[in-house]
Structure 1
Amino acid sequence: MIIFIFESKEMQNKPLLILQARTGSKRLPNKMTLDFHKGLTIPQIIINNLKNIFEPNQIVLATSTKKEDDALEFLANEEGVLLFRGAENDVLQRFIDCATLFKAKKIVRICSDNPFLRPEYIPPLLEKLQNENLEYTSYQWKDGTPIMLSHIGIFAEAMTIDFLKKIKSSTDDSKYLEHVTNYIYYNNKQFKYAFLPLPEFLEDRQNVRLTVDTESDFLIAQELYDNIYIKKNSFKLEDLLKLIDENDVIKSNMEAQIKGNAK
């Protein structure tokens, strides 16, 4: 296990960005170690993008203790970020144990299925969490649907460790132990929370699927990523949406994957 010790109280007070990943996906085995873009895996792409805003010792790759996930330990070492290994299926406990080890009070949960995650949308969540003394913040569609229940794969969510502990003490339902924050969507009266609105240009774009669960998802996302970086070394979301809208085959495939993988 790779452990970096926070050197000051100031560092301990900084948020911990937990990137959850494992190689044991049933729909697309080993997707976390597949070459996604120019020799980089999806977790590496996410980590490199996060480093544009956050310090490496604020980023932890949290995986399981299974032998198969040794490759992810190697990846964390290679990228110079923190590593935590814990329960495979009780991901909620993995997050609690990870945050406890690194003495983090505020946590950002990031799914490693999202190569198009935009780090610039994370600081507003942390500001809201801090300024309003909340337990949980994320984004939502204008109809009130939490963004994490959609397929867009661009956003993260921020929370406190006490929020996670409260869920753990409230349920032993396996679906809530695996899907770390879903409990709040159906039991929100127990928590202090807030959802931020999406940028206007993203409203009515629930037909966009950029999360990677299946081989079809992987190939679509890979094609989009390759094409967007042919045009620009960095990109705005508007550029990405335009690229999707220009390709009827990609749009059709996304819609089919959304229907077949309802959340």
Structure 2
Amino acid sequence: MSAATAKPRVVCISQARMTSTRLPGKVLMDAAGEPLLAHHLRRLSRCRTLDALVLATTVNGTDDPVAELAGALGVPVFRGDEQDVLGRFAGAAAMAGADVVVRVTADCPLIDPALVGRVVTAFLEAEPPLDYLSLDVTRFPRGLDAEVFSRAALDTAAAGATEPAEREHVTAHIYRRPERFRIGAPLAPEDGAVFDQRWCVDEAADLELVRRLLGALLPENPGFGWQDCCKVLRQHPEWADLNGSVRQNTLH
């Protein structure tokens, strides 16, 4: 960060690849006439607290279409090792000149730019400063997930993490070490509610729910937020049963 700029450069990095284990190719699957990845990137591009948006994918030829789609949407692409996602993020952050990094994943086509902005603002305004802050994924619907951390913490993790799980799960090296990094309390919904729902896409049942939500919301309100999704699900409570049996893979 140069002396001339008081505000740190905030770069959102999303990770995507075609070889996901449970639903291969999911990020390019269609919903409401567009690939999931296009919905995801377009929604993030509306987040006013971000200075840049980057897609981190792999060097595999299978991910050429992922890189091409991002490029067509004007999103810069960083390509790195498939297994070393942490190294990929560090490379993308360096390419983009990030001071602060926002981590999201491309299997979240309903991600809410306003909610991402809330986490970024809380991180930037924290006193004393933080190294890491996230949405509380135990209280928000899965699929809105966002983590914010300092570039310094990311570089420290990339240099020091040796466990395969900590290379694959970008922030694990940070949030597992509260004695070393300043970890903020996860941000919960402002009304204190708990939402036990899945809006990320890991399996075909998840995709079906997301397709229905996008189909219901986009024609009337292209800039919809997460609470609009909640409203639709209150009108169609049976939709939540579509993926009710799908389990979340998590390291937390």
Residues 92-103 of structure 1 mapped to structure 2, 5 A cutoff: 92-103=86-97
Q: What is the CA–CA distance in structure 1 between the aligned matches of 2:237 and 2:146, rounded to whole Å?
A: 28
Report the number of matched residues: 246
Residues 1-263 of structure 1 mapped to structure 2, 5 A cutoff: 13-38=8-33, 40-54=34-48, 58-131=52-125, 132=127, 133-140=129-136, 145=138, 152-201=142-191, 203-205=193-195, 207-257=196-246, 260-263=247-250
Indicate conservation of the 8 Å contact 1:209/1:254, yes or no: yes
Match of 1:255, SS state, is coil
Indicate conservation of the 8 Å contact 1:32/1:43, yes or no: yes
Match of 2:205, SS state, is helix
Q: Deviations over 1:59-80 (max 9, x none)?
A: 1111000001111121122101
Match of 1:109, SS state, is strand
Q: Give the 3 Å change call, closer, same or farther, for CA 138–261 of structure 1 in structure 2.
A: closer
Indicate conservation of the 8 Å contact 2:209/2:240, yes or no: no
Match of 2:133, SS state, is strand
TM-score, normalized by length of structure 1? 0.83
Q: Give the 3 Å change call, closer, same or farther, for CA 65–94 of structure 1 in structure 2.
A: same
Looking at secondary structure, tell me which structure has more helix per residue: 1
Q: What is the CA–CA distance in structure 2 between the aligned matches of 1:254 and 1:202, rounded to whole Å?
A: 24
Q: What is the CA–CA distance in structure 2 between the aligned matches of 1:12 and 1:204, rounded to whole Å?
A: 33
Q: What amino acid maps onto 1:228 in structure 2?
A: L
Indicate conservation of the 8 Å contact 2:143/2:200, yes or no: yes
Indicate conservation of the 8 Å contact 1:121/1:155, yes or no: no
Q: Give the 3 Å change call, closer, same or farther, for CA 79–10 of structure 1 in structure 2.
A: farther
Q: What is the CA–CA distance in structure 2 between the aligned matches of 1:77 and 1:203, rounded to whole Å?
A: 38
Match of 2:30, SS state, is coil
Q: Deviations over 1:81-135 (max 9, x none)?
A: 2111111111001001111122212111111010110111223333333333221
Question: Paired residue for 1:3?
Answer: none
Long gaps (5+) in structure 2: none
Q: What is the CA–CA distance in structure 2 between the aligned matches of 1:63 and 1:57, rounded to whole Å?
A: 20
Long gaps (5+) in structure 1: 1-8
Q: What is the CA–CA distance in structure 2 between the aligned matches of 1:195 and 1:56, rounded to whole Å?
A: 22
Match of 1:107, SS state, is strand
Indicate conservation of the 8 Å contact 1:56/1:82, yes or no: no
Q: Deviations over 1:204-247 (max 9, x none)?
A: 21x21001111111111111111122443332433211222333
TM-score, normalized by length of structure 2? 0.86
Indicate conservation of the 8 Å contact 1:210/1:221, yes or no: yes
Q: What is the CA–CA distance in structure 2 between the aligned matches of 1:154 and 1:127, rounded to whole Å?
A: 16
Indicate conservation of the 8 Å contact 1:139/1:198, yes or no: yes
Question: Paired residue for 1:5?
Answer: none
Q: What amino acid maps onto 1:194 in structure 2?
A: G
Q: Give the 3 Å change call, closer, same or farther, for CA 173–67 of structure 1 in structure 2.
A: same
Q: What is the CA–CA distance in structure 2 between the aligned matches of 1:24 and 1:202, rounded to whole Å?
A: 37
